[in-house]
Structure 1
Amino acid sequence: MTLKPMLHIHISPGNKKDGRCEYLLFEVKIRAIPAQMRMAYRGMHTMHFELRNLRHFVALINHRSFVLAAHSVNLSQPAFSRSIQALEHQVGCELVHREKKGLPPTQQGKVLLDYANEILRKSDELTFRIAAFNSNAQSVLNFGCGPVAAASIVPKAIAKLLQNHPHAKTRFVVDKWNELSLKLNRGEIDFFISNTLYFEDDKNHQIVPLAPRKWCLYAHAEHPVFKETPNRYNILKYPIGCTLGVRELLSSYLSEPDYIPSLLCENGYSIMDISLNSHTIGCSALLPMIEDNIKKRLLRVIEPSDFQGAQQDRNILNGIISLKGTMTTPLRQTFIQLLQDYDQVPH
């Protein structure tokens, strides 16, 4: 018989410093173990982790320097070192190789880092959602968006919103559409901005449309594809990097429903960088930076001679997606109007 230890979450107040209250986040307890199995767990003890120690450990891994990490969390280096030592004492092992350049994490440190990032993310999310209940829920925005919106209209709309409503609380996550859909259904976000292709016939969702965004094929200006008339056949001679939201549109153009590109990536800017530095043909939304590089003649748009689709086939339909029947607050209505206003501005 295989038994899995039970993980129990225990939250209790810790030290209050600089107006912030840290918490002892969790303790691990082994329960319900039959007598014949107790020997296997002898010597195991309850571990208490403080959020501040986990934050300090993540800062150390990010900065790879005790001095820089201590500065980033506004601590003296001796106090920061004591925090890391306390965490190592709790887990019973070293978490970084101090004798190696760059302070790489030990194997135990790598395991702890994965959990620490997840715990801190959940802690921040919990703090935000509790604050939403404790304050005026009408002044809270909790939403998600894809990388394109995060790099274009969302920052502009949030900047204007906070200028007009400085006490509003705002939190947004950037992820691919399927993960955002899961977060929406779990109640982790209230709405998200993404390609509406997968939600148009879904009776459980409502969509506020945004302006369609063109997608295109492009390559660096000296790409050999431009030495002949671009068409479907000579395009396929080269690797193609494509964003997730455009893959089906590209497959339709290629008349290959199951086409899988050489690179599939959610971030169109990553594909653009790869295209600038290789013979990979990019396929994504026509992002502002791509347009800038086209104007600088670093990139060229590929206009295939055998493209037979109607003009709307070259568009990505974007929108604001939420569950039907959810409450619309005045702040959300204001923010959606700002998104629509900025979306109409030429990119």
Structure 2
Amino acid sequence: MWFFRVPQVVFGEDALSFLSTLGIKRACIVCDRYLAAAGMPQRVMRFLDGAEVAVVSDFGEEPSLGDVERNLTQVREFGPDWFLGLGGGSSMDMAKILFALYERPDISAYDITPLVPLGLRKRARLALIPTTSGTGSECSWAAVLSDEGHRKNELASPEIMADYAILDPSLVLGLPKGVTRNTAVDAITHSVEAYASAWRNPYSDAMAEKAFELIVNSILRVLKDPSDVTARGNVHIGASMAGSAFSNSQIGLAHALGHALGSHFRVPHGMSVGLYLPSVVRFNSQAVPERYRRLNSLVPDGIRKGTLDLSLQALFSEMGQPLSVDEAGIDRSRYLESLEGMVAVASESTGTVGNAKDASTSDIRTLLLSVLPEK
């Protein structure tokens, strides 16, 4: 028996106005300190007439357990009836974790697993509002928490999935080009890995395939003309669909390798997973040839090559996504010094479990070396 879980999705222009229908009395807006300083919470507050509002923002790009515990004090003192996670993946993940620990003060963050019933929604509910188009966190039941060594710990429970995912394209129109590129590469990787996952199912297939089609046929338009609302909307919806897909199947080796890279080097998440995706597709190609051929057929003319891995390389090159360690600005000698540590981290990732093809430690090492071309 399988389940396909998604939040109720509100999308399109003026989607933010939906908040005014929820009868919110005490809203806890969770966003990182950078978005808070940029005034992003005020764009949400316009639709919270009459509600008391607390902005929880004392954390950065990679929230840690210490960040959670520090912000949880403010949350408990305020006593919200709604959590509104606003931002990229880190902000939405922080909202999920704070929501769970507010409801269950007797557990720790690491008790958020699919095996532990949490009994949430007795005190509050959760809406997630992405301001980037990539992580898919608004539609997933996972959250990532970094430890002191920047290792990314993957928490998950169906109960931390949002009640509502609110996709308003106006929130992503001003995204910088680098963020637009990195988050889109993340979403492309989600769709490819979900479609090839050993745990895939007809529902995740439909979401992954459509997500891939929407993003790869729109992202170059967005990068050329950031004000193209239609193309922005396609990428924004596609990223959310990709989040629904991998949340109901599984990520794969590109994420396992990307998380390993992120644990040793400060590389944007989308850049790190995209760095390995073409190599992982080549590695998996004999296991899921028809699936990769299908995705390759959706790549636009002029970019499409004979195989999906080559098409992804061509698309990423056009986007400005690095294809090697050198292009990513990582020192080669430091990369080699960190190699065995990255092998160990990648081997422990849940991305190895659902990957289309089993990978040995030797395979993982080879994949990590594949982005270190000979001089």
Whether these two folds match at TM > 0.5 is no
Give the TM-score range, shorter chain: under 0.3
Larger Rg: 1
TM-score normalised by structure 2 residue count: 0.20
Structure ranking higher in strand proportion: 1
